[in-house]
Amino acid sequence: MRLAPVLRLILAALCLFIFSCSRETPPVKSSARSAGPPASGDALVIGTIGDASNLIPILASDAASHDIAGLVYNGLVKYDKNLNIVGDLAESWDVSQDGLVITFHLRKGVKWHDGEEFTSRDVIYTYRVTVDPNTPTAYAEDFKQVRNAEALDSYTVRITYDKPFAPALASWGMAVLPAHLLEGKDITKSPLTRKPLGTGPYRFKEWLAGQKIILEANPEYFEGKPYVGRYVSRLISDLSTMYLELKAGAIDLMNLTPIQFQRQTATPEFTTRYSKYRYPASMYVYLGYNLRNPLFSDKRVRRAITMAINKEEIIHGVLLGMGQKAHGPYKPGTWAYNPGIKDVGYDPKVARQLLAEAGWQPGPDGVLAKNGKPFQFTILTNQGNDLRIKTAQIIQQRLRAVGITVKIRVVEFASLISNFIDKRNFDAIIMGWTISQDPDLFDVWHSSKTGPKELNFIGYSNPEVDRLIEEGRGTFDQEKRRRCYWRIQEIMAADQPYTFLYVPDALPAVSARFRGIEPAPAGIMHNFHKWYVPKMEQVY
Amino acid sequence: MLNYLLKRLIMMIPLLLGITIITFAVIHLAPGEPVEMQTALSPKVTKETRERIRKFYGLDKPLHVQYVTWVTRLAKLDFGRSFASDNRPVLDKIKERIPVTLSLNIVALILEFGLAVPIGVLAARYRDRLFDKGMTIFVFIGFSAPSFALAIFGIYFFGVVLGWLPLSGLHSLGSESLPLLARLWDLAKHVILPIGIVTFGAIAGLSRYMRSSMLEVLGQDYIVTARAKGLSERVVIYRHALRNALLPAITLLGFSVPGLIGGSVIMESIFSIPGMGKLFFDGVMMRDYPLIMGILVIGAGLTLVGNLLADLLYAVADPRIRHGKG
Amino acid sequence: MSNKGQTSYFYDVIWSRFRVNRFALAGAVVVILMFMVALLAPLISPHDPAAIDAYHILLPPSLDHWMGTDDLGRDVLSRMMHGAGISLMVGFVAIGIAIVIGTVVGLLAGYYSGWADAVLMRFVDIMLCFPTLFLILAVIALLEPSIWYIMIIIGLTGWMGVARLVRAEVLSIRERDYVLAARSIGASDLRIIFRHILPNVMGPVLVSATLGVAGAILTESALSFLGIGVQPPTPSWGNILSAGKEFIEFAWWLSLFPGLAIMVTVLSYYLVGEGIRDALDPRLNR
């Protein structure tokens, strides 16, 4: 699934990348067991830090809600385990020669969980409600590129675009909503916000607010009834408690922290009970500068800051080595990633020189100053992510060594977005972006996206990058797109609008009683409906 | 008695108003407008919506007008809708959380009294003896040990190392299908740690109070007389002294009332208990203004009622108040 | 003037009674030790409490790091020493504020009675209706977490008990002979309050202040534990413990030392407070 930008931001913030992870080499799996015959039954219990808020996916922007909705709803298309776009509710599709018209042929005989049949009406409704200006959704942007969406018959939908739009197909991975329950009603007040009803492998059973959400297998799922009988999402608001719950066997799956992965779960006692996986997450963590702030307007200064930061030290100290240096917005190994870019590298001496060139001279106390003003700024980051807070502290120490005073402020995520990022009220910020499968950079890097509440909140504006982004999303030719994105990475390496810090590894652990897990570039959850627990080992 | 009750009820009106004023003031300390929060995470909120919210909260009007509209709405039990993306009425959210917190804390309070009173009495009786000293140390440790540290150690030790207790939440998965008794046992296992830790922390205050008020009573003339009459120590202590020493302890009950509603934010967070404390903490972190205001007002209001009940209880127990000026 | 002599005699008696209470004395010693550690932390701490060493994280206690290192490779002992200062400062400033407000409100209400009393005491009743931690959380989260806000807010939500206590004392003292005498020779209200009443309520206030410091230290550590207290990289016992909870399984030193430090300190203040209370209480005369 392609995640809309705001969601990407949130997923990245919470560091829950189970549903969007990928890798190019086979993952490390630390325990292998013989598989018994597939059997129905049992339950997968996961822990979540925050309660879901709204189970209509276009209205929610938190990971907990989307994790649930992802099992209840389907899109027209989805990513398979190798991250190719394949049909989901659409059986097939045709793309016109010029790429401007997509015709989806829908699956026949798919039933909503209440027994109604799924038809083109649902698709058209979903499109209309998403672009409706009265719908408070963050996901309208891609659908706004659509000129016209029409139902040719009950099972055929034709989408027309004004100009070629590379992410077009992927954007139809958006969950399709049931028109027969929503049409003509105020979607924000619909009972579906608390009791979702979709076409997916799991049906909603109950939601005990503040405690858990229970889904049960949909016997009529069009790809066959899932083996695992129930999916339970338990709210465990404290991460250390969650880990202890995992150890006590009360939850079956969670993402481990690097320390848990290496130092706390490296025992035979743990590895016989849990399978651990490790693969690069589809996300990167960065230090972003508010480019409206004169402090950061000089690219020599930004470059100097990058040079003063030792990325290796961060990866070692924070990720215990389980991650890699980032130097651009793509994941190493993907086609858009430019392997020719050299990392700026840690060199405090040159950093000091660059700062001196930019007019920052050390005072008697070693603190840099220009025109009598000391070099001082605040790094903001979100609460609940210890890795980022630690990263901030390491950066603080390194920058102090070159004479820059850094303050750290940790703010709750929602408040960080609304009070600081949306208001452009920050100096620098440590955050993460999920790396989406389509390499389009429009939302985060195009200069037209610097408006209030838009995602280019650092205010980056480079005409050449703008042109390359437009060119890249306006063609379906992968080779052409690659050239655009490679060039963009060169420009960013010179500009240093962010200091790209690292791409962490995803480190999920799953109870060993679950079989059929197929680690793939898409992570482990892509075939959840094929997971099973042998009859002998079922616990619930 | 009826007169007293009536008087107390009338007194509640200015107090309730005071509660709303303080709540209103606390919220308006914060920079920025609630509207910006509500619209913040949904870039698609239209200008009209924003205006509608502004109007609803009366943000275009001067502060005192805002206050009056807000209080008028409160009087109709309209607490507004939560800013969280579930957008539910605040009252609904609070209603589903109150029973959990209230029942947990009442159990803890009963335990606290059940343990602290005997400890205090016995400590007074065996003053400066081993029991007294041992209990002094025990209750002081309970008071001084940070509850969150105890909780973490407790979870690790009883839940992980020994595997005796579940770690968090209120029910085990699938407990709904168990017979009633087994369900209660399941619930008990879940709450034993949080309630135990809260109780442990609270015993100190009451037991020390009981001890010193017992000591005071034991020094009184009528006790000396009773002893001189040759009454057995048991009768002296449990018949005569205890009754009089217990009375002031009831006032302490009144002081416990805010804790009943406020619950324990920390215990609820660590043990993932879906109570008021957790709801409030989350609301505060997300700056869910209607929820924060709603909980503050309802929490304080209920405390007021609780205080009234405690006072009535006291009045029933102590004739001097019943007939006195109150 | 006789009043003054009386007061110093009074304190002599209290001290002589306090001195024989071994628990209280032990508490006092710990409190003084903590003060010294806090004041001398910059001199005696073996390492820079902020020095990160990404290559030596979570080391167990050793000769070089007596309390081990934390998850950023910082020396825990040094952080504990610097954290002592933060804890004490929060305790004292917060309670200072609470005492000043509480005493003033109590004095005014008790001395003037009538309307002033009614209004002030209803205000106290109202404030007491709010669960304290709720008020603190609301204010801190809406403003920004800073150590100054924390101290002020703990103070602003902690004065009600003092006010009630002082008022009760004043009510009994103001009818005493020496106050009546002072009034009869035309002493001003202000003079009576400050010269004759205030010194005599200071005993119970001192007790409640000592206990209050213990409470404030606990509150600060709880806030830091919840992540909205003292912000990194400033060390406080609460946030060291909060960082340690994740590693309780194998890095016990990160939870144990700050947990113990909070406990011992709070316990000491409590013992001292109780000691003073007992010493003040003529009924418990030995």
CB-nearest to A417 from B40, B85, B155 is B40
Backbone angles phi, psi at A416, to 5 degrees: -60, -45
pLDDT in tens, C226-283: 888 887 788 999 889 988 888 888 888 999 999 999 999 999 998 898 888 888 876 5
Is the ipTM value over 0.95, yes or no?
A: no
Counting Cα atoms < 13 Å in the Cβ hemisphere of C86 gives 30
Short-list C163, C160, C157, C155, CA closest to C111: C163
pLDDT of B33 over the 60 cut: no
CB-nearest to C231 from A240, A243, A408 is A408
DSSP secondary structure, B269-296, as one string: HHTT--SHHHHHHHHHHTT-HHHHHHHH
Short-list A40, A357, A305, A7, CA closest to A175: A7
Q: What is the pLDDT of residue B323?
A: 54
Domain assignments of chain C as residue spans, ordered by start: 3-280
C-alpha angle A10-A149-A66 in degrees, rounded to nearest 5: 20
In the stretch 94-113 of chain C, residues with CB closer than 8 A to chain B read none
d(CA A275, CA A266): 11
Which sign does the torsion angle of CA A453, A338, A11, C53 carry?
negative
* Chain A residues within 8 A of C54 when measuring between CB atoms: 313-314, 316-318, 394
pLDDT of A30 over the 70 cut: no
Q: What percent of chain A has pLDDT over 90?
A: 63
pLDDT in tens, A438-491: 899 998 999 988 877 788 999 999 999 999 999 999 888 889 999 999 999 999
Euclidean distance between the first and final Cα of chain A, in Å?
A: 30
Say if the Cβ atoms of A237 and B152 lie within 8 Å. no
How sure is the predictor about B245, in pLDDT bands with cuts at 50, 70 and 90?
confident
d(CA A386, CA C246): 10
Q: In angstroms, how far is CA B252 from the centroid of its own chain?
A: 13
pLDDT of A4 over the 70 cut: no
d(CA C198, CA C189): 12
At A518, the amino acid letter reads E
Which pTM does this prediction carry? 0.84
d(CA A534, CA A515): 8
pLDDT in tens, C172-201: 888 888 888 888 888 888 888 888 888 888
Choose, out of C47, C53, C55, C72, the residue to mutate when testing the contact with A (most A CBs < 10 Å): C72
Q: Does C52 touch chain A (CB under 8 A)?
A: yes
Which whole number is the average pLDDT over A499-517? 94
d(CA C58, CA C185): 71
What is the set of domains in chain A, with CATH numbers? 283-505 (3.10.105.10)
Short-list A101, A99, A119, A121, CA closest to A109: A119
**3-class SS at B178?**
coil
On whether the CB atoms of residues B314 and B26 are closer than 8 A, the answer is no
**3-class SS at A79?**
strand
pLDDT of A17 over the 50 cut: no
C-alpha angle C219-C223-C229 in degrees, rounded to nearest 5: 120
Read off the tokens for A298.
Answer: 């000089």
d(CA C230, CA C79): 13
Please give the residue that has the higher pLDDT: either B137 or A199: A199
At C137, the amino acid letter reads L
d(CA A396, CA A409): 12
d(CA A9, CA A238): 21
d(CA B260, CA B263): 5
Contacts of residue B70, Cβ cutoff 8 Å, sequence gap at least 6: B20, B24, B57, B58, B293
Which whole number is the average pLDDT over B161-177? 84
Short-list A515, A497, A493, CA closest to A29: A515
| Chain C: closest CA distance from residue A247 (Å) | 11
At C197, the amino acid letter reads I
Q: Does C118 touch chain B (CB under 8 A)?
A: no
Angle at which helix B276-285 crosses helix B289-317, to 10 degrees, equals: 150
How sure is the predictor about B19, in pLDDT bands with cuts at 50, 70 and 90?
very high
Q: In a 10 Å sphere around its CB, with 0-12 CB exposed, 13-18 middle and 19+ buried, how is residue A43 labelled?
A: buried
Say if the Cβ atoms of C231 and A410 lie within 8 Å. yes
Q: Does B284 touch chain C (CB under 8 A)?
A: yes
CA torsion angle B146 B300 B284 A57 (round to 10): 120
Say if the Cβ atoms of B174 and A419 lie within 8 Å. no
Chain C neighbours (≥3 Cβ pairs under 8 A) are A, B
| Chain A: closest CA distance from residue C233 (Å) | 7
Residue C51 CB neighbours (<10 A): 12
Choose, out of C47, C53, C57, the residue to mutate when testing the contact with A (most A CBs < 10 Å): C57
Which whole number is the average pLDDT over B199-227? 84
* Chain B residues within 8 A of A383 when measuring between CB atoms: 285
At B6, the amino acid letter reads L
Q: In a 10 Å sphere around its CB, with 0-12 CB exposed, 13-18 middle and 19+ buried, how is residue A245 labelled?
A: buried
At A283, the amino acid letter reads M
How sure is the predictor about A20, in pLDDT bands with cuts at 50, 70 and 90?
very low
Choose, out of C52, C149, C254, the residue to mutate when testing the contact with A (most A CBs < 10 Å): C52
CB-nearest to C137 from B147, B284, B301 is B284
What is the set of domains in chain B, with CATH numbers? 94-317 (1.10.3720.10)
Residue A297 CB neighbours (<10 A): 14
Short-list C82, C84, C53, C85, CA closest to C70: C53
Q: Mean pLDDT, chain A, as a whole number?
A: 88
CA torsion angle C212 C216 C218 C224 (round to 10): 180
| Chain B: closest CA distance from residue C283 (Å) | 7
pLDDT of A21 over the 50 cut: no
Q: In a 10 Å sphere around its CB, with 0-12 CB exposed, 13-18 middle and 19+ buried, how is residue C80 labelled?
A: buried
CB-nearest to B300 from C129, C137, C281 is C129
Question: What are the C-alpha distances in Å from A123 to residues A5, A168, B145?
Answer: 21, 15, 59
Rg of chain B taking only CA atoms, in angstroms:
24
pLDDT in tens, A383-415: 778 899 999 999 999 999 999 999 998 887 777
Read off the tokens for C55.
Answer: 């290559």
Class of domain C3-280 (CATH, top level): mainly alpha
Q: What is the pLDDT of residue C228?
A: 82
